[in-house]
Amino acid sequence: MKLLITAGPTREPIDAVRFISNRSSGRMGTALAEAGAAAGHEVTLLMGPALMAAELADRCAVHRFNTTAELEALLNEHFPKCDVLVMAAAVADFRPRSAADQEKLPRQAEGLTIQLEPTPDLVAAVAAHKRADQRIIAFALEPGSELEQRARVKLQRKKVDAIVANALGSMESAGVEAVLLTADGGRHAPGPMSKVDFARWLIGRLDQI
Protein backbone atom coordinates (compact mmCIF):
# COMPACT_ATOMS: atom_id res chain seq x y z
CA MET A 1 0.00 0.00 0.00
CA LYS A 2 1.27 3.50 -0.83
CA LEU A 3 0.93 5.78 2.19
CA LEU A 4 1.26 9.57 2.08
CA ILE A 5 1.75 11.00 5.59
CA THR A 6 2.09 14.62 6.63
CA ALA A 7 3.74 15.68 9.89
CA GLY A 8 4.78 18.72 11.90
CA PRO A 9 3.68 22.36 11.90
CA THR A 10 3.65 25.00 9.20
CA ARG A 11 5.43 28.33 9.56
CA GLU A 12 3.82 31.39 8.00
CA PRO A 13 6.38 34.23 7.69
CA ILE A 14 5.79 37.67 9.14
CA ASP A 15 9.19 38.95 8.07
CA ALA A 16 12.62 37.49 7.39
CA VAL A 17 12.99 36.08 10.93
CA ARG A 18 9.50 35.93 12.50
CA PHE A 19 6.63 33.60 11.75
CA ILE A 20 3.23 32.31 12.91
CA SER A 21 3.26 28.66 13.86
CA ASN A 22 2.06 26.21 16.51
CA ARG A 23 3.48 23.76 19.06
CA SER A 24 3.26 20.63 16.94
CA SER A 25 6.30 18.42 17.53
CA GLY A 26 5.73 16.15 14.52
CA ARG A 27 5.90 13.08 16.79
CA MET A 28 2.61 11.60 15.66
CA GLY A 29 3.33 11.97 11.96
CA THR A 30 6.84 10.55 12.20
CA ALA A 31 5.57 7.67 14.36
CA LEU A 32 2.99 6.92 11.66
CA ALA A 33 5.70 6.95 8.99
CA GLU A 34 7.83 4.57 11.08
CA ALA A 35 4.88 2.26 11.69
CA GLY A 36 3.88 2.29 8.03
CA ALA A 37 7.39 1.43 6.87
CA ALA A 38 7.72 -1.31 9.51
CA ALA A 39 4.44 -2.83 8.28
CA GLY A 40 5.85 -3.07 4.76
CA HIS A 41 4.02 -0.14 3.17
CA GLU A 42 5.60 2.29 0.71
CA VAL A 43 5.69 5.53 2.67
CA THR A 44 6.11 9.12 1.52
CA LEU A 45 6.46 11.58 4.39
CA LEU A 46 5.79 15.30 3.94
CA MET A 47 7.62 16.78 6.93
CA GLY A 48 7.34 20.29 8.32
CA PRO A 49 9.96 22.23 10.30
CA ALA A 50 10.26 19.79 13.20
CA LEU A 51 12.96 17.39 14.33
CA MET A 52 13.05 14.00 12.64
CA ALA A 53 15.23 10.96 13.25
CA ALA A 54 17.84 10.84 10.50
CA GLU A 55 17.34 7.11 9.93
CA LEU A 56 13.68 7.67 8.99
CA ALA A 57 14.87 9.04 5.64
CA ASP A 58 16.34 5.58 4.93
CA ARG A 59 12.93 3.95 5.37
CA CYS A 60 10.69 6.30 3.42
CA ALA A 61 10.77 9.16 0.93
CA VAL A 62 10.90 12.49 2.80
CA HIS A 63 9.99 15.90 1.40
CA ARG A 64 10.25 18.98 3.63
CA PHE A 65 7.97 22.01 3.76
CA ASN A 66 7.71 25.19 5.81
CA THR A 67 4.57 27.04 4.73
CA THR A 68 1.02 25.95 4.03
CA ALA A 69 1.55 26.87 0.38
CA GLU A 70 4.58 24.57 0.19
CA LEU A 71 2.63 21.70 1.77
CA GLU A 72 -0.25 22.36 -0.63
CA ALA A 73 2.11 22.03 -3.61
CA LEU A 74 3.53 18.76 -2.23
CA LEU A 75 0.05 17.35 -1.69
CA ASN A 76 -0.96 18.24 -5.24
CA GLU A 77 2.12 16.41 -6.48
CA HIS A 78 2.00 13.28 -4.33
CA PHE A 79 -1.66 12.69 -3.45
CA PRO A 80 -2.64 11.30 -6.89
CA LYS A 81 -0.03 8.55 -6.44
CA CYS A 82 -1.08 7.35 -2.98
CA ASP A 83 -3.64 4.85 -1.70
CA VAL A 84 -4.05 6.43 1.74
CA LEU A 85 -3.36 9.97 2.94
CA VAL A 86 -2.88 10.41 6.69
CA MET A 87 -3.00 14.14 7.34
CA ALA A 88 -1.26 14.49 10.72
CA ALA A 89 0.39 17.87 10.00
CA ALA A 90 -0.77 20.83 12.09
CA VAL A 91 -1.52 23.42 9.43
CA ALA A 92 -1.81 27.03 10.59
CA ASP A 93 -5.37 28.35 10.35
CA PHE A 94 -4.19 31.87 9.46
CA ARG A 95 -1.21 33.50 7.77
CA PRO A 96 -0.11 37.13 7.29
CA ARG A 97 -1.76 38.69 4.27
CA SER A 98 1.65 39.97 3.23
CA ALA A 99 5.12 39.26 4.59
CA ALA A 100 8.29 41.35 4.55
CA ASP A 101 10.36 38.35 3.46
CA GLN A 102 13.54 40.25 2.69
CA GLU A 103 13.81 42.28 5.88
CA LYS A 104 13.36 42.23 9.63
CA LEU A 105 10.59 44.58 10.64
CA PRO A 106 11.78 47.15 13.19
CA ARG A 107 10.43 47.12 16.71
CA GLN A 108 7.91 49.92 17.12
CA ALA A 109 7.00 51.37 20.50
CA GLU A 110 3.41 51.91 19.39
CA GLY A 111 3.02 48.31 18.30
CA LEU A 112 2.49 46.60 14.97
CA THR A 113 -0.70 45.53 13.22
CA ILE A 114 -0.56 42.35 11.15
CA GLN A 115 -3.42 41.55 8.81
CA LEU A 116 -4.20 37.83 8.65
CA GLU A 117 -6.03 35.74 6.09
CA PRO A 118 -7.29 32.15 6.44
CA THR A 119 -5.18 29.42 4.94
CA PRO A 120 -6.85 27.00 2.51
CA ASP A 121 -8.38 23.80 3.88
CA LEU A 122 -5.87 21.39 2.40
CA VAL A 123 -7.65 18.21 3.48
CA ALA A 124 -10.98 19.30 2.02
CA ALA A 125 -9.26 20.32 -1.21
CA VAL A 126 -7.65 16.93 -1.82
CA ALA A 127 -10.81 15.11 -0.68
CA ALA A 128 -12.74 16.92 -3.41
CA HIS A 129 -10.55 15.14 -5.98
CA LYS A 130 -10.26 11.78 -4.23
CA ARG A 131 -10.64 8.67 -6.34
CA ALA A 132 -12.96 5.89 -5.22
CA ASP A 133 -9.95 3.70 -4.42
CA GLN A 134 -8.27 6.31 -2.19
CA ARG A 135 -8.82 6.96 1.51
CA ILE A 136 -8.10 10.02 3.63
CA ILE A 137 -7.63 10.10 7.40
CA ALA A 138 -7.63 13.58 8.93
CA PHE A 139 -6.76 14.76 12.44
CA ALA A 140 -8.74 17.08 14.71
CA LEU A 141 -7.19 18.77 17.74
CA GLU A 142 -10.03 20.03 19.91
CA PRO A 143 -10.93 20.83 23.54
CA GLY A 144 -11.69 17.66 25.49
CA SER A 145 -15.24 18.69 26.42
CA GLU A 146 -16.29 18.97 22.76
CA LEU A 147 -13.73 16.65 21.22
CA GLU A 148 -15.84 14.09 19.41
CA GLN A 149 -18.67 16.46 18.50
CA ARG A 150 -16.34 18.91 16.79
CA ALA A 151 -14.32 16.14 15.14
CA ARG A 152 -17.46 14.53 13.71
CA VAL A 153 -18.51 17.89 12.23
CA LYS A 154 -15.06 18.24 10.62
CA LEU A 155 -15.21 14.70 9.24
CA GLN A 156 -18.49 15.44 7.50
CA ARG A 157 -17.52 18.92 6.30
CA LYS A 158 -14.18 17.83 4.87
CA LYS A 159 -15.68 14.65 3.36
CA VAL A 160 -12.86 12.38 4.56
CA ASP A 161 -13.08 8.67 5.35
CA ALA A 162 -11.99 8.94 8.98
CA ILE A 163 -10.72 11.45 11.50
CA VAL A 164 -8.54 11.07 14.58
CA ALA A 165 -9.93 13.20 17.41
CA ASN A 166 -7.37 14.10 20.06
CA ALA A 167 -7.44 16.62 22.88
CA LEU A 168 -5.38 19.80 23.03
CA GLY A 169 -3.17 18.35 25.75
CA SER A 170 -1.64 15.85 23.33
CA MET A 171 0.33 18.57 21.55
CA GLU A 172 4.05 18.28 22.41
CA SER A 173 3.25 15.20 24.50
CA ALA A 174 4.69 11.71 24.00
CA GLY A 175 1.28 10.20 24.74
CA VAL A 176 -2.23 10.46 23.35
CA GLU A 177 -5.77 9.35 24.15
CA ALA A 178 -7.38 9.60 20.75
CA VAL A 179 -10.62 8.40 19.21
CA LEU A 180 -10.92 7.28 15.60
CA LEU A 181 -14.25 8.28 14.01
CA THR A 182 -15.18 6.89 10.61
CA ALA A 183 -17.55 8.17 7.92
CA ASP A 184 -19.84 5.16 8.38
CA GLY A 185 -20.50 6.20 11.99
CA GLY A 186 -17.88 4.01 13.60
CA ARG A 187 -16.09 4.94 16.82
CA HIS A 188 -12.90 3.27 17.99
CA ALA A 189 -11.17 4.30 21.22
CA PRO A 190 -8.02 2.30 22.02
CA GLY A 191 -7.43 4.23 25.26
CA PRO A 192 -4.38 6.15 26.49
CA MET A 193 -1.08 5.08 24.97
CA SER A 194 2.14 6.46 23.57
CA LYS A 195 2.03 8.09 20.15
CA VAL A 196 4.28 5.31 18.88
CA ASP A 197 1.79 2.64 20.00
CA PHE A 198 -1.17 4.61 18.66
CA ALA A 199 0.57 4.95 15.29
CA ARG A 200 1.04 1.19 15.12
CA TRP A 201 -2.61 0.68 16.09
CA LEU A 202 -3.86 3.08 13.41
CA ILE A 203 -1.64 1.67 10.66
CA GLY A 204 -2.91 -1.79 11.58
CA ARG A 205 -6.51 -0.64 10.99
CA LEU A 206 -6.03 0.87 7.52
CA ASP A 207 -7.69 -2.05 5.77
CA GLN A 208 -10.80 -1.52 7.90
CA ILE A 209 -11.31 2.17 7.05
Q: So where are the chain's domains?
A: 2-93+116-208
The residues facing 94 across adjacent strands are 118
DSSP state of 145: G
Residues in Cβ contact with 103 at an 8 Å cutoff, skipping those fewer than 6 apart: 15, 16
Name the CA dihedral angle for 95, 17, 170, 139, rounded to a multiple of 10 degrees.
Answer: 40
Averaged over successive runs of 10 residues, the pLDDT of the chain (209 residues) comes to 97 92 93 97 96 88 97 98 97 88 76 90 97 97 87 97 89 87 96 96 95
- State the sign of the Cα–Cα–Cα–Cα dihedral 28, 30, 31, 35: positive
Give the model's pLDDT for residue 169: 72
Give the model's pLDDT for residue 101: 65
pTM score, two decimals?
A: 0.94
- Helix or strand or coil: residue 192? coil
H helix or E strand, kind and range, residue 5: strand 2-7
Q: Which residues are catalytic?
A: 22
Instruction: Give the strand pairing for 193-194 and 175-176.
Output: antiparallel
Give the model's pLDDT for residue 100: 66
Q: Enter the CATH code of domain 2-93+116-208.
A: 3.40.50.10300
